[in-house]
Amino acid sequence: MKEPLCFKADGHFFFPKKRIPRKASVLKKLGVKKGTFAGNMIARAYDYYFTGAIDFNKEYRKYYRLEFSSITGYIEERYNIEKSKAQQYADNHYCMKECSRYAIDRSVETLNYDQDFKTKFSEAVGGIKDEDSDGVYYE
């Protein structure tokens, strides 16, 4: 499998906004219909990971352009992310979603205990790399 598009690190989920397929495409790729139990489960997982994420480029241009000299500096200082990763996020138009214990819908994380579901969903969205290799998702 090629390099995953998305990854979880330090309680946050990072992904390149423009390369993530739409929810309808993910449902079609997994072969489920909208409104069914499986469709609702996939849609809920999709929403958990991708809806309401912070778009670094958009937020920088809209609010922080005058305060920070570059988008890399903004990501590095505002979110306390190391410089090399901040540069990668800025160059590839990444977004960030809170997936720690402070996230609203943590019940979706329990779906990750089903390895088959986790693998299929990951393949459908382009790959998800999880730093938590032991399978424990609650802090």
- Under the banding of pLDDT at 50, 70 and 90, the label for residue 137 is very low
Beta strands 54-55; 94-98: pairing state: antiparallel
- Under the banding of pLDDT at 50, 70 and 90, the label for residue 138 is very low
Asked if residue 97 has pLDDT above 80, the reply is: yes
Residue-wise pLDDT tens digits, 85-94: 899 888 888 8
- Under the banding of pLDDT at 50, 70 and 90, the label for residue 46 is confident
Residue 79's Cβ-count burial label (10 Å; 0-12, 13-18, 19+) is: middle
In whole angstroms, what is the distance from residue 101 CA to residue 12 CA? 10
- In 3-state terms, what secondary structure has residue 15? strand
Q: Which residue has the tokens 């499998």?
A: 1
Residue-wise pLDDT tens digits, 57-96: 999 999 999 999 999 999 999 988 899 889 988 888 889 9
In whole angstroms, what is the distance from residue 6 CA to residue 14 CA? 6
Asked if residue 139 has pLDDT above 50, the reply is: no
**E-assigned strand segments in the chain:** 6-9, 12-16, 54-55, 94-98, 128-130
Q: pTM, whole model, 2 decimals? A: 0.76
